[in-house]
Chains A and B, each alone.
Chain A
Amino acid sequence: MLGSVADGVERSLDPRSITVRRIVGAITTAAIGGVTLIALVVRLIASRPTRGDVVLLLLAWVALVAAIAVLSWLWPPLSFRHAFWRIDASTMRIRRGVAWRSVVSIPRSRVQHTDVRQGPVERAFGLATLVVHTAGTEHASIGLSGVAHETALAIRDHLIDVQA
């Protein structure tokens, strides 16, 4: 199992991560929509608006929520297409970013410790987030979310194993 993650081949994230991120996006959209709607209603009740104002504000609210919803539906596959990770004998490399791209290269000898985290949605889909901690200042912790749980565990074992 260890040999299989550290083969120097660049891999995509787990495709299920698109679904996970869409679900998280939907929840976020609903939360933002709900809060803004409540705020809007309270504001409207307090200020006795005309019918035109009400319609206009509600339309603006619908447009905002729709924009967020569309974005959180379209963005996950886009960012999935630009996210890769690769592990070879000496380093772990994470490449991602749609418009602003970044490559982070973490030498295995600099890994201080690692976390494997699972949120409720991730757990339902068998995915996990791997967090690698280094002694660095800016990159003190680097997260890789959207990999299968067993893959995250394998990477963790690999990183820690060579450390010892």
Chain B
Amino acid sequence: MSRPDDDAGWRRLHPLSLLFRIGSTARRLLLPALALLFVSRGQGYELWLAVMFVPAGIASIVSYLSYRYRLGEDELVIRQGIVTRNERHVPYGRIQNIDLVQNLLQRWLGVAEARFETAGGEEPEAVMRVLSLAELASVRECVFREARPIAAGPDPGTPAEPARATESLYRAGLPQLALLGLTSNRGLAVVAAAFGALWQLEPLGYDPQSLVRAIARVDPSRAHLPPGPWATALVAGLGFLVVVLALKLLSVAWTIVRLYGFALDARGADFSARYGLLTRIAATVPQQRIQLLSVRRGPLQRWLGQASVQIETAGRGGGGGGEGAGTEVERLWLAPWIDDRALPGLVARALPGVDLESAAWQPLAARAGRRILRRGLAITLAVGIGPAIWLGPKVLLALVPLVLLAVVHARLWTRHAAYALLPDAVLWKSGWWTRRTSVVPYGKIQVVGLGQTPFDRRHRMASLSVDTAGAGHVGHSFELPYLDEAAAHALLGRLAEETSVRAFRW
């Protein structure tokens, strides 16, 4: 800031940033502070609180005052720090997306936190908290106007600019979110988190062990149960059912709170998703930057003719909040719960030129099922052999259902696993209970690999993997096992060819 022209254009964050910075510091110090307060009980240790809070508060103020940013010609510049000065230049063309996060207080005050994602790394490249909404709109406009020539290159199928009108692609209602919640197991995670939080209260005089003891004190023999193993089994079964039901209800509640009002819009070549009941999130994904698209159908979804659509972008894709940022942005969802009939249209928007219906599915090797079955039986045997030696051969009878399951699994798995080549993308589907279909455009393939275990070689088979810049959050890695050796080699050559003739743009 020594030269006068250097001073121009530098902006500060919204003054309310100070409030949120101090707030987040206070939240981090809250538990230790409370603990200290209770332990000391008026012995003058309150002084220590000041020792903890005052420097933290000063640090917040200093960091607010030292944080400046500038919207340059073609880059975002952020200056930070007093002792160690840090100046970060982020070219607009490298910004994958800008996500907005607003918690309840921020919504009430009309400010938001902005996260700038680039392709590299797990963490956002830059976090601005907080900006006023007007300020944010101008930042956004600036970044994406500059990024446009790179984002929407001469990719086939990208509509000619500038079609800047916002177009609604998908809305999720409450019933859809409730059903999605039913298929998720988030409730378990919520309970685990709550249980963990109980332990945090230990310094406050609460004894978390008491809960464990209370659970252990429940004595089934003292309950007024009709005797006999069947009654016990019935009670145990009912209890299990109640627990499962409660967990599912929690999952539903959690899903609704997180994804309430999920809306997917298209604006030119960008998608934007907005959702959240308490904390509102607005995430932007330029169409060009979708690396992988995955369609997931669980049993309930198949029964109702529905599907979930997830995507992977370069960089984080989702999960893991940034520094001090409490809420993670899930950019995973393109549509959490969509009708099968609306699916092809949405996929065609996300990946122009991809028509899932036109796929000519190629099966795995003919003997794949037998190998899967053999592996299943080997595992079953390995599981059963120990107990059989210990407890006698009768135990092996218990393995019968497992053997049946292995047979059914092998048959259904091979029936539902296949791959297909489209003019612009490669498809792969797998799973029979939860079925997933994933699409990778050739232009987004990074490396193609072929692997053969000794078993593969004996059966003249091979597996093929396709690597993309996505971070694997979708949970359906592009790996095709049990292919015919010759088919796998042909596929490797074909994919390498298709990939190399297309340039990769982030």
Please indicate the chain A residues that have their CB under 8 angstroms from the CB of B470 in the complex.
137
Tell me whether B504 and A109 are in contact (CB under 8 A).
Answer: yes
Decide if B472 is an interface residue (CB 8 Å cutoff). yes
Q: Kindly list chain A residues whose C-beta atoms are within 8 Å of the C-beta of B468.
A: 136-137
* Closest CB in chain B relative to A132 CB, distance in Å: 9
B200 at the interface (CB under 8 A from A): no
A99 within 8 A of B: yes
Check A139 against B496 for contact (C-beta < 8 Å): no
* Cβ of A113 to closest chain B Cβ, rounded Å: 13
- With a CB–CB cut-off of 8 A, which chain A residues contact B119? 135
Once the chains bind, are A139 and B449 in contact (CB under 8 Å)? yes
Which residue of B has the minimal Cβ distance to A132?
B447
A106 and B453 CA atoms in complex are apart in Å by 21
Residues of B within 8 A of A102 (CB): 449-452
Q: Decide yes or no: A104 and B502 within 8 Å by CB, A99-B454, A138-B467 being known contacts.
A: no
A110 CA / B449 CA spacing, docked (Å):
14
CB–CB A137/B451 < 8 A: no
> Distance (Å) between the CB of A100 and the closest chain B CB?
6
Asked if A101 and B452 sit within 8 Å, CB to CB, the answer is yes
| Given known A90-B497, A105-B492, A135-B119, contact A100–B454 (CB-CB < 8 A) | yes
Within 8 A of B (CB), among A123-145: 134-139, 142
Answer whether residue A19 sits at the interface, using C-beta atoms and an 8 A cutoff: no
Interface flags for A106-129 (1: CB within 8 Å of B; 0: not) read 111110000000000000000000
Cβ of A103 within 8 Å of any chain B Cβ, yes or no, is yes
- A90-B497, A110-B499 known; A101+B447 contact, CB < 8 A: no
Q: Does B469 contact A (CB under 8 A)?
A: yes
The answer to whether the Cβ of A91 comes within 8 Å of any Cβ in the partner chain is: yes
- Which residues in B have their C-beta under 8 angstroms from that of A101? 451-452, 457
Q: Per-position contact with A for B446-488: 1 when CB-CB < 8 Å, else 0?
A: 1111111110010000000101111110000100000000000
Mask, B422-453, CB within 8 Å of A = 1, is 00000000000000000000000111111111
- One of A97, A103, A137 near B467 (C-beta < 8 A): A137
Taking the nearest CB of chain A, how far is it from the CB of B492, in angstroms? Answer: 6
B497 touches A136 (CB 8 A): no
Q: Are B447 and A109 in contact (CB under 8 A)?
A: no
Once the chains are docked, how many angstroms separate the CA of A52 from the CA of B71?
A: 79
Given A90-B497, A100-B453: A135 and B503 within 8 A (CB)?
A: no
Q: Is the CB of B450 within 8 A of A108?
A: no
- Report if B314 contacts A (CB, 8 A): yes
A-chain residues with CB within 8 Å of residue B452 when the two chains form the complex:
97, 100-102
Q: What A residues does B506 contact at CB under 8 A? A: 135
Q: Pick the contact of B446 from A100, A108, A136 — CB < 8 Å?
A: A136
Query: B86 on the interface (CB 8 Å rule)?
Result: no
Please give, as numbers and ranges, the residues of chain B lying within 8 Å of A93 by CB-CB distance. 496
Contact residues in B for A135 (Cβ distance below 8 Å) = 119, 314, 446, 469, 504, 506
Task: Determine the chain B residues whose CB is within 8 A of the CB of A107 once the complex forms.
Answer: 445, 447, 496, 499-500
**Complex Cα–Cα for A93 and B489 (A):** 12
Chain B residues near A103 (CB-CB < 8 A): 449-451, 489, 492
Cβ of B501 within 8 Å of any chain A Cβ, yes or no, is yes
In the complex, what distance in Å separates the CA atom of A87 from the CA atom of B469?
23
Query: Chain A residues with Cβ under 8 A from B502's Cβ?
Result: 109
By a CB distance below 8 angstroms, the chain A residues around B447 are: 104-107, 110, 134, 136, 138-139, 142
> Which residue of chain A is the closest to B119 with respect to CB atoms?
A135
A102 to B457, CA, bound (A): 11
Complex partner residue of A109 from B314, B457, B477, B503, CB under 8 angstroms: B503
**In the complex, A120→B457 CA distance in Å?**
37
CB distance from B461 to the nearest CB of A (A): 12
Choose one: B314, B450, B500; the contact of A90 (CB below 8 Å). Answer: B500
Q: Are A104 and B504 in contact (CB under 8 A)?
A: no
Q: Which residue of B lies closest to A99 (CB)?
A: B454
Shortest CB-to-CB span from B285 to chain A, Å, is 17
Q: Which of B465, B467, B469, B489 has the most CB of A within 10 A?
A: B467
A90 contact set on B, CB distance < 8 A: 496-497, 500-501
| B472 pairs with A137, CB closer than 8 A | yes
A142 to B446, CA, bound (A): 12
**Complex-state Cα separation, A136 to B291, whole angstroms:** 11
Q: Which residue of A lies closest to B496 (CB)?
A: A105
CA–CA, A96 to B500, complex, Å?
A: 22
Bits for B219-237, please: 1 = Cβ < 8 Å to A, else 0.
Answer: 0000000000000000000
Given A100-B453, A134-B447, A137-B470, the answer on whether A110 and B504 have CB atoms closer than 8 Å is yes
Distance from B486 Cβ to chain A, minimum over Cβ atoms (Å): 13
Taken together as a complex, chains A and B put the C-alpha atoms of A33 and B506 apart, in Å, by 49
Tell me the smallest distance from the CB of A92 to a CB of chain B, in Å.
10
With A100-B453, A101-B457 in contact, do A136 and B504 touch (Cβ < 8 Å)?
no
Most buried by B among A90, A97, A106, A108: A106
Binding site for A on B (CB under 8 A): 119, 314, 445-454, 457, 465, 467-472, 477, 489, 492, 495-497, 499-504, 506
26 contacts between A and B (CB under 8 A): A90-B496, A90-B500, A91-B500, A97-B452, A100-B452, A100-B454, A101-B452, A101-B457, A103-B449, A103-B451, A105-B448, A105-B449, A105-B496, A107-B496, A109-B504, A110-B445, A134-B446, A135-B469, A137-B468, A137-B470, A137-B471, A138-B447, A138-B465, A138-B467, A139-B446, A142-B447
Query: What 6 additional pairs, Cβ within 8 angstroms, besides A102-B449, A110-B445, A139-B446?
Result: A104-B448, A107-B496, A107-B499, A109-B504, A135-B506, A139-B449
Q: Closest 5 CB pairs between A and B?
A: A136-B446, A90-B500, A136-B467, A107-B500, A139-B447
